[in-house]
Amino acid sequence: MSASASPTFKMDPNWICFHPNPAKPRFLLPTGAVDAHCHVFGPGDVFPYAPERKYTPCDAGKEQLWALRDFLGFSRNVIVQATCHGADNRAMVDALLSSNGTARGVATVKHSVSERELDDLDAAGVRGVRFNFVKRLVDALPMDTLAEIARRIQRLNWHIVIYFEAQELPELYDFIAGLPGIVVVDHMGRPDVAKPVDGPEFQLFVRLLREQSNIWSKVTCPERLSKQGGPGYDDVVPFARRLVEQFPDRVLSGTDWPHPNMTAAAPDDGALVDFIPKIAVTSALQNKLLIDNPMRLYWPEAVRP
């Protein structure tokens, strides 16, 4: 897999491209495993990056994503709209349409999105919208706009994916708890893993899931959260394992390829797959995390009798 900068978009000078040569995972993914959090970037000369973007990445298109899926042993992908494309979902939709039904998407939409546009996204395989509160990535939409979008997508049976950092949760708690339908939190709400897993910060997140049975969590991004770094990411294990064991039917796993905004080094995607059996320690938990849960959310037609 090779990385390239689009000729029309100059990637950020310190941008770290995805790993060109990941290791083959030692963990054999079960047949049908879903990579439930990944992105596509461009290519920028075909699908221009958004004028309001906060970063310009290297191109990382659908063919490279499919190659990684096959190399790692996944069967399906959930492509989450990346902030560098703003609310222009064309690169993600193009990937969905060329996936032979093996990819679903999570879109970013504006208040002005029409019912027709929502229907078209649905037909392409979009099954959710993403609300992003990470200030370095986006200027968040007003809460009442988000609440309105949340209400409008219910007719499509979509869910909400929400991205925030742990220090924002006290302020966002009531808003999140009041959202309708299924709400999936990115990257465990980004805990500070230097703090104790039983401490007040992570326990507030656990409480959110305990009190609200519609809230799920992605147990993703050890490469972002770890202070120790890879390939083991051992300091993240207790956090992810706690969620997998306490909420086995409401957790999702994913690579986060092509790993936007890494500051140290490109993570080895093989090592990220090898993180999975450390947080889901039985085959029953692995099957829920990798197959049953994402299939229920993204391909319910394939699991309904």
- Contact call for residue 186 and ligand 0GY (CB under 6 A): yes
- Active-site hit among 35, 256, 269, 274: 256
Q: How many residues bind ligand 0GY (CB under 6 A)?
A: 9
Give, for 69, the enclosing helix (H) or strand (E). helix 62-72
Please give the residues from 219 up to 258 whose contact with ligand 0GY meets the rule CB under 6 A. 256
- Contact call for residue 129 and ligand 0GY (CB under 6 A): no
Given the complex with ligand 0GY, which of 258 and 270 has the nearer CB atom?
A: 258
Count of C-beta atoms within a 10 Å radius of residue 31: 9
Please give the residues from 16 up to 45 whose contact with ligand 0GY meets the rule CB under 6 A. 39
Least Å from the CB of residue 62 to ligand 0GY: 16
* 234 among known catalytic residues: no
Given the complex with ligand 0GY, which of 39 and 159 has the nearer CB atom?
A: 39
CA 57 – CA 14 distance, rounded (Å): 10
Cβ within 8 Å of residue 197, ≥6 positions away: 238, 239, 242
Count of C-beta atoms within a 10 Å radius of residue 40: 28
CA dihedral (154, 159, 163, 167) in degrees, to 10, reads: 70
- Contact call for residue 137 and ligand 0GY (CB under 6 A): yes
CA dihedral (272, 63, 159, 220) in degrees, to 10, reads: 10
Task: Give me the amino acid identity at 230.
Answer: G
Given the complex with ligand 0GY, which of 116 and 136 has the nearer CB atom?
A: 136
Among 5, 60, 68, 82, binds ligand 0GY (CB under 6 A): 82
CA dihedral (160, 176, 172, 164) in degrees, to 10, reads: -30
Least Å from the CB of residue 116 to ligand 0GY: 25
Given the complex with ligand 0GY, which of 102 and 261 has the nearer CB atom?
A: 261
Least Å from the CB of residue 137 to ligand 0GY: 5
Among 25, 260, 267, 270, binds ligand 0GY (CB under 6 A): 260
Cβ within 8 Å of residue 206, ≥6 positions away: 242, 243, 246
Would you tell me which residues interact with ligand 0GY (CB under 6 A)? 39, 82-84, 137, 186, 256, 260-261
What are the residue numbers of the active site? 256
